[in-house]
Structure 1
């Protein structure tokens, strides 16, 4: 990794591990929330590895960086059109499944969100 005065390898260790796991086939898609100051580094790394990605602003200082298989990222572009906390229970469930989260935990989360969702 190239060194830069404002890039600290310890701050990006998790990101680099996610890239490694993706390249090894452990994950098909990753969601990584990162400080905007690391956006250029992360994007350059993903581009150099030919990994599809999409960026979602979170706050003034952070972004959600989705990356992985192109078909997954195409789906994310359609589904994640607003902040993640505003996803429907169904969208949240699909996203969690796409990210490889424990499916039973996703089912519990879905049911809990459906119970608290206002009826229309």
Structure 2
């Protein structure tokens, strides 16, 4: 729970707009109680019987997460949804682009680098 408290601190200080925190499902009620105490919007995403992901942060960000996840497993997201999620969580944008290209048919576009010359 210490890491959750630190994530809440970072959100409240403006360091993050959205946080994804994974924890054992048995701590879900305690986690949501803390988030409600601070008036922070959240979404619970079940990972099976033992763990959950708690997405929390700015209401508009959490609304997008609700729309994207909507009962899907994270490994079942489309390449576009995966890209949006990773970008919103602040993951390295270049690595997100590489991941997107790898997961999508767009990877054909980078098979051979193209060098453009300026006129």
TM-score range, shorter chain: 0.7 to 0.9
Q: Which has the larger radius of gyration?
A: 2
Residue in structure 1 matching 2:74, options 73, 77, 84? 84
Secondary structure class of the residue paired with 2:6: helix
Instruction: Give runs of ≥4 in structure 1 deviating > 6 Å.
Output: none
Q: Normalised by the size of structure 1, how large is the TM-score?
A: 0.84
Residue in structure 1 matching 2:93, options 89, 103, 109? 103
Kindly report the root-mean-square deviation, in angstroms, between the aligned alpha carbons of the 2 structures.
1.5
Alignment of 1:56 onto 2:45: yes
In structure 2, C-alpha distance between the alignment counterparts of 1:94 and 1:18, rounded to whole Å: 20
Say how many residue pairs are matched.
106
Unaligned runs of at least 5 residues, structure 2: 108-119
Unaligned runs of at least 5 residues, structure 1: 1-11
Alignment of 1:34 onto 2:23: yes
Q: Normalised by the size of structure 2, how large is the TM-score?
A: 0.85
Taking a change above 3 Å as real, the CA distance of residues 42 and 104 of structure 1, as seen in their structure-2 partners, is: same
1:32-78 deviation digits (Å, cap 9, x = unpaired): 11101111110000000000000011110111110000001111111
